[in-house]
Structure 1
Amino acid sequence: MSVWDELTGQSEAIDVFRAAASGAAAPVDHTATHASTGSGAMTHSWLITGPPGSGRSNLAYAFAAALLCRNGGCGVCADCRQVAARTHPDLAVLSTDRVIISIEEVRTLVSSSQYSPSVSRYRVMVIEDADRMAERTSNVLLKALEEPPERTVWILCAPSEADLLPTVRSRVRSVRLRVPSATDVAGLLERRDGVEPQTAVRAAREAQSHIGMAHRLATNVDARQRRASTLSVALGIRSVPDAIMGAARLLELAKADAEAITEERDAEERESTLRSLGVEPGQAVPAALRSQVKTLEEDQKRRATRSLRDGIDRILVDLLSLYRDALLIQLGAGLELINVAIQGELDALAERTEPAETLAVMDAIAIARRRISHNVTPALSLEAMLITLTHSTNRKATP
């Protein structure tokens, strides 16, 4: 067993990081940022890019464990377990559940990067979702990347290189991940989570190889029901009133999904915070400690906003898969469908629309995703999208 075993579909990238970790005993090459990804040379700053669900952060922490572990990432020692728990003394992590990473958070991380390693060869700094930094915030990080301490290694994660400033990109070595195959993701669910093969394959396919979402669909009945309800809403729309009601229903589903994800985590965080402050369960929070609890609650509210936006986007991705399947049927492409479980409904949808109308609906879904990402009211965005759907599905006249 090793830290690389739970990664899937990224053999080329794993080879790069495994080779770098193996040679990490040598001095860090601060000039190797533009070396090819096939090189095994170690450098002080890395950027892992890839689509959502490709396993960017998983690979980042596997590499961190390989650098901090005395056995090169065995996966079972104290160092590897501490990295997995994000508690290793030489690992610093910056992740956010909010829309952006604040400049104060980056300044704190940059300051801690100046410390020497305490128990390992390196001090490893991981920034998940590095694309969520504003330009001013990125410039704070840039200074740390330009003049890093000898034994500090930065690992940034982002969807693409274009999401970061050119000056930051020039200071890192980029390793691109690809979308893993549904077969690879299903195999991971079977091996790691003990999911039945049939359930694993369906979850991987319906999640479109998004590893985190595939895990949720395979292990959470409510998540599967939410997805089925989403497709059912879209398939039942025939008129503008249907579209208005459908938009409300989709928003309701997104809220329920977001609450399910955050509720348990919020409770655990509050309990952990109160415990660390010395407050027993059920005990009133002393006045002197209320400001710290209030800060936690404010962070959780901001995270809830991000979770709702992510939940709406998941719904739109599911709808996009529905019309993608219908288009493939209309064109007779012969490619594998995502929503095989509702083949009959897909056939009926493809029959009552033309390919041009199906494409128009897919465009409307893409526009809705952009609008919501730019803070347009979700209800209005969803209504506009579904009204486009009614125009398209009713355009094909019945003889």
Structure 2
Amino acid sequence: MSVFDSLVGQSEVVERLKSAISSAKGGSSSQKMANSWLLVGPAGSGRSNAAVAFAASLLCSESGCGKCRDCQTVLSGTHIDVERFNPTGLSIKAEEVRELIARSAWSPSVGGWRIVIIEDADRLTESAANALLRTIEEPETHTLWLLCAPTLGDVSVTIRSRCRHLQLRTPSTASIEEFLLSNTSIDSKAAAFAARVSQGHIGRARFIATNQEARSRREEVLSLAFSLTDIDSCFKAASKILDIAQNQAESENSERDSQQMKQLQDAYQGTGRSLISGGARAIKDLERGQRSSTTRSVRDNIDSALLDIATFYRDVLVIQSGGEEILNIDLRTEVNEFAKTSSPKRSIERIEALLEARMNLGRNSAPLSTLEALFCALK
């Protein structure tokens, strides 16, 4: 067992990380490990998992055994010397970065390193990036900064120029299928299906493979692609996607939100302070953060739905071009019939419309109006 087992199809990345860890632990006298890293790769490639595995291996006496207390606490997110910052909002603000910087200067408690992982570093605002710049340029000798983003171009040039780069690639369908068979109880047919439709996203593949509700929701979303007959159906489809995304976000976040609120209330009761004497503001801050997290979840869920719909039009284009290898083999009849109703040029236009809508949502456009415009363009 190794902490790197969760990295699928990333053998070169694993070797580079192991080499860096060897340098940090004195295995290489000629090269010093960089203290600031930028891990980039498409969604689902495992860039965050790579950062966590890096942290665990660095703190582990056996370089990432996956079994010791250090490995287990890093992997579970409870290690006292590892801070994993996962932005709940649509952007990472300067005040959040300054808090991270302040904590990064603390001396390690149980290991030789204090490690800060910033997920979705592409969400750094300009002021946040400026606040972080000096720190990653001249970090504390005991501090390791691990920034994660989709591409180098998504991060400001001033930040990326001061980091060691690590590029992850999209895992192959075969490697994802093998991972699912080794780490879940599903059969080969289910693993092949999930690997194929996940489009190289490890987490998504696992979720589809092991969650019947996720598969049903995906079928419901895909059915909208071939039900757009008039403007009314387009507006209904837009509302349906938004409803699905909101319900999914509520389901994902409601239990966590309740636990966070209870923990906050218990903390104030434990100190003998009433909520009125200071907790009211803390509750407002928590509720604001939870609303922001839910908003992001809704947008992420919409994005996943649009990716699913894009696979349908991709399959249509494959058939129109004389190909046979489609992703949605369970919808082969629908794909074949739809392919007869339009041209390859029109299929490409539909895929481009989906990509544009995804970019607009990333720029904080209103979800419903964006979806309405999209489905009218897809009709």
- TM-score where L is the length of structure 2: 0.93
Matched, 1:132 2:136: no
Alpha-carbon offset, residue 8 of structure 1: 0.9
CA displacement at 1:255 relative to structure 2: 1.5
% identical equivalent positions = 39
Q: Does 1:206 align with 2:164?
A: no
Q: What secondary structure sits across from 1:237 in the alignment?
A: coil
Cα distance per residue 1:35-59 (max 9 Å; x no partner): xxxxx86211111000011001000
Q: Do 1:331 and 1:355's aligned partners in 2 also have CA atoms closer than 8 Å? A: yes
Count matched residues.
376
Q: Report whether the alignment pairs 1:300 with 2:290.
A: yes
Say which is worse superposed, 194-203 or 210-219, in terms of deviation.
194-203
The 1-side partners of 2:52 and 2:3 are apart by 9
Instruction: Find the counterpart in structure 2 of residue 25 from structure 1.
Output: 25
Match of 2:360? Answer: 371
* Partners of 2:312 and 2:81 in 1: CA distance: 46
User: Aligned residue for 1:216?
Assistant: 207
Within the alignment, does 1:87 sit opposite 2:78 as a pair?
Answer: yes
**1:127–1:156 contact (8 Å) kept in structure 2:** yes
1:384 to 369, 373, 379: 373
> Of 162, 182, 187, which residue of structure 2 is paired with 1:171?
162
Deviation at 1:376, TM superposition (A): 2.7
Match of 2:331 among 338, 342, 347: 342
Report 1:1-399 matches (<5 A): 1-26=1-26, 42-278=33-269, 286-288=275-277, 289-334=279-324, 336-390=325-379
> What CA distance in whole angstroms lies between the structure 2 residues aligned with 1:195 and 1:19?
35
C-alpha distance in structure 2 between counterparts of 1:277 and 1:325, whole Å: 55
CA contact 2:315–2:328 (8 Å) conserved in 1: yes
Q: Which structure 2 segments of 5+ residues have no match?
A: none
User: Which whole-Å CA distance do the structure 2 matches of 1:97 and 1:383 have between them?
Assistant: 26
Spell out, residue by residue over 1:290-319, the C-alpha distance to the aligned partner (whole angstroms, 9 max, x if none).
Answer: 332232121111111111111111111111
Deviation (angstroms), 1:87: 2.0
1:122-173 deviation digits (Å, cap 9, x = unpaired): 2212111111111111111111112112222111101111111212111111
Once superposed, what is the RMSD of the aligned Cα atoms? 2.1
Cα distance, 1:219–1:274 mapped onto 2, change above 3 Å: farther
Deviation at 1:330, TM superposition (A): 0.3
8 Å Cα contact 2:92-2:123 kept in structure 1: yes
**Corresponding letter in the other structure for 1:164:** V
1:203-226 C-alpha deviation (Å, 9 max, x unpaired): 121111211111221222221111
TM-score scaled by length of structure 1: 0.89
Which secondary structure state, in structure 1, belongs to the residue aligned with residue 145 of structure 2? Answer: strand
Deviation at 1:275, TM superposition (A): 3.8
Unaligned runs of 5+ in 1: 33-39, 280-284, 391-399
Structure 2 letter corresponding to 1:269: Q
Instruction: Tell me if the contact between 2:36 and 2:145 (Cα under 8 Å) persists in the aligned partners.
Output: yes
